[in-house]
Structure 1
Amino acid sequence: MPTIELTAADGHVLGAYTAGPADAARGLVVVQEIFGVNRHMRRVCDDFAREGYAVVCPTLFDRTERGVELGYEAADVARGRDLRGTIDAGKTLLDILAAAAALPRLARRGIVGYCWGGTVAWHGATRSSAFAASVGWYGGGIAAAKAEQPACPVQLHFGETDASIPLADLEAIRAAQPGVEVFVYPGAGHGFGCEERGSYVPADAAKAQERTLAFLARHLG
């Protein structure tokens, strides 16, 4: 497995999965769900790498427990939520900035996150100037931070029937951020882009990925 170690600004050492060409002109920080950098997240990274991106996916749970890889059963969801609850958002920002610094020096840098990572990608856009583009898929914490102003273009993807992100939240995000692209997928639930979940919707996942790639190409060159 192609892994590296990163050192955050506070001295914390964490792991990261990497993929793609080392001399790529475009780089991505890919941010995990609450299930760790597991098989699904590595597949996501490899998919972006095949599009020519250099990718770094930091193992954000390392601040509490190293080497966490969970599945998608109820017990995994509960454990992932518990682990997520131990991680400070400010520390997570340091970790994604360390991941950004590990991308090729001359690459234009974007960030893409899923589930918890979707919220982290929003924070990457609003709480740093490290990225030229940000994409979040079903980030449940974005509505609570909707008033924060992004320093780069942002695109967001949500499922219409996501039980954890009500439609009222999506309308609030749209109202607060008219310049942000917000896509809602009719009938789709949380995690519709994950091929290992029961909520997976292949057609919606493919459409969201098509939109993500077009958005990144537009803003990263």
Structure 2
Amino acid sequence: MTTQWIDITAKDGGKFKGYLALPPAGKGPGIVLLQEIFGVNAHIRSVAEQYALDGYVVLAPDIFWRQEPGVELGYEGEDMEKAFSLMKAMNSDQAIADIASTVDTLRGRPECQGKIASLGYCMGGILSFRSALDAGVDSAVCFYPGGIANHLDKADRLQVPVQFHFAGQDKHITGEHIEQTRRAFAGRDDVKMFVYDSADHGFNCWARSAYDRHASALSHGRTLAFLETLGR
């Protein structure tokens, strides 16, 4: 596996960075990996490498490049406060346009051979869902997507497969929000939902106190199975 930072050209001008992880085989289908509110930090880079070792060409764009390029934050105290302020300052429509540029960049690389999925966590989870609508991905995986209930009016626009992973103990995405999501996609065979009853928000991040090994491993396996059933 090899990694590097590459340049991505935004649709409205300017360039931003993305962390590219290539699989040992050197080629494979693509994943656009979408960060939490903490930047493309050590954990997100490790997740990119994890999926690269699974055989995917992974590109994680710096979503906050317009506010603070290259920002990397921790999960407590002032870092947490700064992360929330960066998220609030983000123009989400502009972020989707930047993700679309990332998708175009990934499709243009010779190592990327096959379909491209978006995969994101929390803020990245909702951006992954919106990428399925407007950023040109072939499928999307959404881990504890923050604010999903505010975007369910777009459900009828969805034309690609999506997989959701929710935490049963999540105080941000409540049981009612999960049920609303379930109802919004009722009857859709191409939309899969999983709820990890004992897990909390952020359960996939091994750098956080909320990390849940069982939920993380199970959801990782389900993600890989989902992507493989869609074809390469």
Over aligned residue pairs, what C-alpha RMSD do you find? 1.4
- Corresponding position: 1:61 with 2:67: no
1:117-132 counterparts in 2 under 5 A? Answer: 117-128=124-135, 130-132=136-138
For the Cα contact (< 8 Å) 1:125–1:131, is it kept in 2? yes
TM score, norm. by length of structure 1? 0.95
Secondary structure at 1:70 match in 2: coil
Corresponding residue for 2:40? 37
- Corresponding position: 1:202 with 2:213: yes
TM score, norm. by length of structure 2? 0.91
Unmatched tracts of structure 2, length 5 or more: none
Deviating 4+ runs (over 4 angstroms): none
For the Cα contact (< 8 Å) 1:160–1:188, is it kept in 2? yes
Identity %: 37
1:98-177 counterparts in 2 under 5 A? Answer: 98-105=101-108, 106-128=113-135, 130-148=136-154, 149-177=157-185
Secondary structure at 1:56 match in 2: strand
Unmatched tracts of structure 1, length 5 or more: none
For the Cα contact (< 8 Å) 1:132–1:219, is it kept in 2? no
Paired residue total: 220
1:23, distance to aligned residue in structure 2 (A): 5.6
Corresponding residue for 2:91? 88
Q: Which amino acid is the alignment partner of residue 37 of structure 1?
A: V
Corresponding residue for 2:80? 77
Q: Which amino acid is the alignment partner of residue 15 of structure 1?
A: K
1:24, distance to aligned residue in structure 2 (A): 2.4
Corresponding residue for 1:184? 195
